[in-house]
Amino acid sequence: MEPSFKTDIKTAILATLASPKSLIRGQIASILAQIGKIEVPRKEWDELIPSMCTNSKSDDINIRLASLKTLGYICEEL
């Protein structure tokens, strides 16, 4: 895939992490972890983990919880 297309997909997925629906946030966290499992070791998405760490301090509780869940899933996968 073209790098710009991959970036657009990842940006769209990250935006969905702020969904008000708990089920959707959980699924997105899982998707992010699966992508991260492949791309983080390849150094193709170095900003994923720092981004989730930053999000875990968000004022929005939904973003905070989804980011922490994503970090947990990433830790399981890596």
Full domain range(s) for residue 54 = 44-78
pLDDT exceeds cutoff 90 at 24: yes
67 within a domain of the structure (yes/no): yes
Where does the pLDDT of residue 5 fall: very low under 50, low under 70, confident under 90, or very high at 90 and above? very high
Closest CA to 14 of 63, 78, 58, 53: 63
63 within a domain of the structure (yes/no): yes
Backbone angles phi, psi at 40, to 5 degrees: -65, -50
pLDDT exceeds cutoff 90 at 1: no
Average pLDDT, the chain: 94
pLDDT at 3: 86
12 within a domain of the structure (yes/no): no
Number of separate domains in the chain? 1
3-state secondary structure of 39: helix
37 within a domain of the structure (yes/no): no
pLDDT at 78: 84
pLDDT at 77: 87
